[in-house]
Structure 1
Amino acid sequence: MLTLVIFTVLLILLMVDLPIAVAIGLTAIGFFLWEGEPDLLIMLPQRMYGGTTGFTLLAIPFFILAGNLMNTGGITNRIFRFAKACVGHISGGLGQVSVISSMIFSGMSGSAVADAAGLGRIQHKAMVDNGYPKPLSAAIVASANCIGPVIPPSIPFVLYGAITSVSVAKLFLAGFIPGVLMGGAMMIAIALMAKPRGLPRSEKADFTELVASTKAAFWPLLAPIIIIGGILTGFFTPTEAAVIVTLYALGLGFAYRDLKWKQLPGILFASLKQTTGLLFIMAAANFFGWLTIHQRIPDAVIQSLAGLSASPAGVLWMIIGVVVVLGCFLEGNAIFMITLPIFMPIARLFGIDMINLGVVMTLLIMIGNLTPPVGMCLFAVDSFARTGVWPLAREALPFMAGILLVTLLIAFVPEIALFLPNYFMPGM
C-alpha cells in the first residue's frame, strides 16, 4: 500500500508540471516528514552527492558533448548522404535512410534526444521536401533516433551499469543485436506502409555517388569500430571511450572545416546544461531510492511476489508493465534511478540476468520516449517539425509496436542479447 501511495504522489506532482528532479525530491522529503523522521533529512546532501560521483558516470558528459560536436561538425550530413546512397532506392525511400543513418550515428552518440535534435533535422527536412506527410516524417525521425541508446555507446547503459555494478562493456555488447533488430522492425514497418501511403523513393545511386559518399563518411563510420574495438581489446574502458570519441568528433569537425573555434563555447555550454539537468535528476532520484530502501519497499514487493508463487516470466511481465506505464510520465534516466533499487533484488532472487534486464529496460524506456505526455523524443522532434505531439505519437504507433515486439523477444529469449557478451567476454 505504501508503495502505491508514494508513486501516486510522485505522479501527481509530475502531472502538475513540476520539474522531474523537484517532484522526485519533494516526494522523498514529504514522506520522511509524514513518517515523523525529519532527522533523516540530514542524509539528503550526502545521498544526492553520492548519486552523481561514480567514476563510470564520467562517461555521460563526454558522450553528450560528443553528440553535440557531431551535430555541429557536419558529420551528420555525411552519414545521411552515405545511408541515402545505400538504401534510398528501396521501398520506403528516405524513411529507410533515416533508420539506417540513425543506426550508424548511434554508434557514436549515446542519446536519443541528442540524435533526434541533430540528425533528426536533416532527416525530417529531406523527407518533407520529397513529399512525405509532416507527421509521418516526424514520427519516423523520433522512432529511428530511439535506436541511439540501444546500439553502443549508450548513456542509459552507462547509468544502468553505475547503479547495478554490472559491466558496462558487456551492456554495450548486449545492446548491439537488439538495436539492429529494432532498426529492422522499423524498416519493415516503413516498407509495409510505403505503397498504401504513396511514399516516394530516391533513384538508385550510381557507382560514383556510392564511392563518393562512402569516402566522405569513412572517418565517421570508423568511430564505432574504434570505440567497441578499443573496449573489447582492453585498450580503454567505456568511460575512457567517451573521452576518445569526444576528441575524435572534435578532430573530425576541424578536419572537415565544419566546426569553428567560435562555436565551441556554445557547444560546451549546451552540453553543460544537458549534463547538469541529468545529474540533478540522478541526485534527487538517489535520495528517492534510499527512501524506498528505508521503507523496505523491495522486501515487501518480494514477499508479495513469493506469496503469489511468481515465476521469472511473471516478474518480467510485471517489470515490463511498470516501466511502460512510468515511461508515459517520467524521463528514462529517472525511471532507472527510481525503479532499480526495487527491481534489482527481485531480479536476482528470480534468476533474471542483470545484463539482459538492462537491455530490456532500455528498450522499454525507448517506448516511453515515444509516448505522451512526457515523450522526450516527441518533444525534441516537435520542436522543429511543428506537427503537434499527439498527431506525432499516433503516427509513431507502428514503430512503438515494433520496439515492443523486439523487447518481448529479448526479454523471453535472453540468449539473443547475451550472445555477444558471452562470446567476447566469457566468464567476466
Structure 2
Amino acid sequence: MEVIVLFSVFLVLLLVGVPIAFSLGISSLAYLLLEGISLTIVPQRMYAGIDTFVLLCIPGFVLAGNLMNVGNITEYIVRFCNALMGHIRGGLGLANVGGSMIFGGISGTAVADAASIGAVMIPGMSKSGYDKPFAAAVTAASSTIGPIIPPSVPMIIAGSLTGVSVGRMFLAGAIPGLLLGVAMMITTYLLAVRRRYPKEERVPFLQLLREARTAFWALLMTAIILYGIIGGFFTPTEASIVASLYALVVGMYIYKGLSWRKLPGILTDTVLTSSALLLLVGLANLFGWILTSQQIPQMVADAILTISDNPIVVILILNLILLFVGMFMETIAALIILFPALLGVATGVGMDPVHFAVMAVLNLMIGLTTPPVGVCLFVVSGIGNLPMLRVAYAILPFLVCNIAVLLLVAYVPAVSLWLPNLLMGQ
C-alpha cells in the first residue's frame, strides 16, 4: 500500500508540473510518514548520495562550460565549423551539428549545449533562409551528443553509482558520440538537398586556417581532459578543475571574452546549477533507497527475465524502458533510480557494465528530445519563439537516425568497448 502511495504521489506531482527533485522528495516523505520511519533517514540518505569524490567534478565541468560560453568560445567554434562546411548544401545545419560535437565535449550537458549553440545558430540559420523549426530541431537533436562525447555528467553519475571507472566510460562514449554526429550530419544534408536549403561561398584556404587557429584552443581542452585522465595524470575530478582553469585563461587572455566583472555572475550561475543537480542526486538517492528496501529493482529484474532470457530480447526491452522513462524523467534522477536495477539485468545476459552505461545514457539523451516533455525541445522552442509541436514534428527524422545509432551501440559491444579496451586494457 505504501509503495502505491509513493508512486501515486510522485506521478501526480510530475503531471502538475512540480520539479522532479521536489517530486522525488515529497513522495519519499509521504512514504516515510506512512511507514513510521524516522525522518532522520532523509539527511542520512541524501548525504550518502552525494558523498562521492567523483561527484565533485560536476561543479568543475559546469563552471568550465559556463566560462567557455560566456567567453564567446561557442561563437568561435561555430565560426570554424561554418568555415569548414558552409559551402556544402545545408552547411549551417552541418556547422550546428559540428559545433555541438565540439562544445558538447567541453560542457558535458545537453541543455547547456542546446541553449548556447541555439542562441547563436537558430537566429543565424533563420536569417540565412532555413526554416526556423528545422534550425531548432537540428539544435535540439545535436545537443544529445554532448553527454556522450566526453566529458559527460550522466556518465559521472553512473560511475558513482556502480564504481565503474569514469575514465573507461568517457572513452566508451567517444565512438558512439562521433557516430551520432555523423548520422545527424547525413540526415541534415539529405533534408537540406531535398528542401533546397542555401549554401555559402567556399571560404578561402587562408581564412579557414585562421578560423582553425582561433578554434584550436577550444579543441585542445577536450584533448587535455582525455589525455590527462587516460594517462593517469589526474582523476576526473581534478580534470574538471584543470578544465575550469584552462577555460578561464583562454577566455580571458586569448579570446578576451571574459573579464573579472563577469566572474561573479558566472560563479553564481555555476553554484545554482550545481546545487540543483546535487539536490536532485540526494533526493533521488533517498527515493532509490526506498525502492531497494521494498525490493522493487529485484522485482523489475525478475519481471524482465520472466518475459525472456534471450539477450537480444532483453536488450530490446531495456532500451524500450529507458527510452520511455527518458521522455518523462530528468536524466540524472532516472539513472539513480533505474540504473542499478537494470544493470543487474544487463550483466545477467552478458553485457559489460561500461557498454550498458553508454547505452543507458544514450537512451536517456534521446529522451530529452522526444515529445511530450523533452527538455531540450522546450529550450530551443523558447529560443526560436516557436510552438513546441512544430519543433517536435521537425525533429522526427533526427529521432529516427538517433535510434538507429542507439541500436548499433546496443547490439555491437565493440562500438563502445573497443577504445577503452585498446587504451586501458581489458
TM-score greater than 0.5 by the shorter chain: yes
Residue 7 of structure 1, CA deviation? 4.3
Counterpart pick for 1:213 among 211, 217, 220: 211
CA deviation digits over 1:323-352, x for unaligned, max 9?
A: 111112111111101112321322232222
The DSSP-based 3-state class of the residue aligned with 1:205 is: coil
What residue number does 1:304 align with? Answer: 303
1:157 is displaced (CA, Å) by 0.9
Structure 2: distance between partners of 1:424 and 1:358: 18
Corresponding position of 2:270: 271
* Cα contact 2:6–2:30 (8 A) shared by 1: no
Contact 1:11/1:329 (<8 A) preserved: no
CA contact (8 A) 1:327 1:374 kept: no
Paired residues, number: 425
Shift of 1:100: 0.9
Q: Distance in 1 between matches of 2:5 and 2:94?
A: 45
For residues 186 and 393 of structure 1, what CA distance do their matches in structure 2 show?
A: 16
Structure 1: runs of 5 or more not aligned? none
Say yes or no: does 1:139 pair with 2:147.
no
Contact kept, 8 Å, 2:284 with 2:333, in 1: the verdict is yes
1:336 aligns with 2:335: yes
Q: Percent identity between the aligned chains?
A: 44
1:230 pairs with 228, 236, 239, which one?
228
CA separation of 1:394/1:13 partners in 2, compared to 1, >3 Å: closer, same or farther? same
Describe the SS at the equivalent of 2:40: helix
For the pair 1:30 / 2:11, whether they are aligned, the reply is no
**Amino acid in the other structure paired with 2:241:** V
Alignment equivalent of 1:90, drawn from 88, 91, 109:
88
Query: Which AA in structure 2 matches 1:209?
Result: Q
Cα deviations by residue, 1:125-159 (Å, 9 ceiling, x for unpaired): 22112011111111111111221111011111111
8 Å CA contact retained: 2:305, 2:314 = no
Match of 2:159 among 158, 161, 170: 161
User: Helix, strand or coil for the counterpart of 2:50?
Assistant: coil
Partner in structure 2 of residue 409 of structure 1: 408
| One-letter identity of the residue aligned with 2:24 | I
- Indicate conservation of the 8 Å contact 1:88/1:94, yes or no: yes
Distance 1:4 1:366, change over 3 A: farther
1:17 alignment counterpart: 17
C-alpha separation between the residues in 1 aligned to 2:202 and 2:341?
52
- Per-residue deviation, 1:8: 5.2
Distance 1:32 1:349, change over 3 A: farther
Deviation at 1:373?
3.3
1:28 shift after superposition: 2.2
CA distance in 2, matches of 1:31, 1:286: 14
Report the TM-score when normalising by structure 2.
Answer: 0.96
Residues 92 and 84 of structure 1: is their aligned pair in 2 closer, same or farther, counting only changes over 3 Å?
A: same
Q: Answer with 298-307 or 121-130: which moved more.
A: 298-307
SS at match of 1:327: helix
CA contact (8 A) 2:156 2:166 kept: yes
Secondary structure of residue in 1 paired with 2:261 = helix
Q: Which deviations, in whole Å up to 9, do the C-alpha atoms of 1:294-350 show, x marking residues without a partner?
A: 001122223334444422222222221111111121111111011123213222322
Shift of 1:288: 0.6
Residues in 2 aligned to 1:3 and 1:352: alpha-carbon distance in whole angstroms: 30
Of residues 310-319 and 238-247 in structure 1, the stretch that sits farther from structure 2 once superposed is 310-319
Distance in 2 separating the partners of 1:233 and 1:259: 30
1:9, CA displacement in angstroms? 4.4
Structure 2 residue runs without a partner (length 5+): none
* Superposed CA offset, 1:164-198 (max 9, x none): 11010000000000001101111111111112222
- Once the two structures are overlaid, the 10-residue window that deviates more, 168-177 or 341-350, is 341-350
> Whole-Å Cα distance in 2 between the matches of residues 67 and 382 of structure 1?
22
> 1:176 is matched with which residue?
174
Structure 1 pair 9/314, CA: closer, same or farther in 2 (3 Å)? farther
The secondary structure found in structure 1 opposite 2:219 is helix
Contact 1:298 1:346 in 2 (8 A): no
Tell me how far apart the structure 2 counterparts of residues 374 and 62 of structure 1 sit (CA, whole Å): 28
- For the 8 Å contact 1:132–1:199, the answer to whether it is kept is yes
* Cα distance, 1:6 vs structure 2: 5.0
SS in structure 1 at match of 2:329? coil
Partner of 2:321: 322
Q: Distance in 1 between matches of 2:154 and 2:235?
A: 16
Counterpart-to-counterpart distance in 1, 2:64 and 2:152? 12
Match of residue 119 from structure 2 = 121
Please report how far the alpha carbon of residue 421 of structure 1 lies from its aligned counterpart in structure 2 after TM superposition: 0.5
Q: Using the alignment, how far apart are the partners of 1:98 and 1:142 within structure 2?
A: 10
Letter in 1 for 2:53: F
Residues 5 and 31, structure 2, Cα contact 8 Å, conserved in 1? no
Deviates more, 1:152-161 or 1:350-359: 350-359
Amino acid at match of 1:99: V
SS at match of 1:18: coil
Residue 383 of structure 1: CA displacement? 2.5
Preserved contact between residue 116 and residue 142 of structure 1 (Cα < 8 Å) = yes
Q: What amino acid maps onto 2:357 in structure 1?
A: G
Query: Which structure 2 residues correspond to residues 354-365 of structure 1 after superposition, within 5 A?
Result: 354-365=353-364
Change (3 A) 1:116 1:305: closer
Counterpart of 1:280 in structure 2 is: 279
| Per-residue Cα deviation, 1:270-290 (whole angstroms, up to 9, x for no partner) | 111111111111111000110
Equivalent-residue separation in structure 2 for 1:3 and 1:170 (angstroms)? 36
Is contact 2:145-2:177 (8 Å) kept?
Answer: yes
Say if 1:292 and 1:342, in contact at 8 Å, map to a contact too.
no
After superposition, what is the alpha-carbon deviation per residue over 1:229-254, rounded to whole angstroms, capped at 9, x for unaligned? Answer: 11111111111111111111110111
Look up the SS of the partner of 2:39 in the other structure.
helix
Question: Which consecutive aligned stretches of 4+ in structure 1 deviate over 6 angstroms post-superposition?
Answer: 1-5
Q: Once structures 1 and 2 are overlaid, which stretch shifts more, 294-303 or 132-141?
A: 294-303
Are residues 394 and 5 of structure 1, via their aligned partners in 2, closer, same or farther at CA, if it must alter by over 3 Å?
farther
Structure 1 residue 380: deviation in Å? 2.0
- Give distance in 2, aligned partners of 1:412 and 1:233: 30
Letter matched to residue 270 of structure 1: D
Q: How far apart are 1:4 and its partner, in Å?
A: 7.8
Residues 1:121 and 1:306: Cα distance change in structure 2 (over 3 Å): closer
> Is the CA contact (8 Å cut-off) linking 1:147 and 1:179 kept in structure 2?
yes
Aligned residue number for residue 366 of structure 1: 365
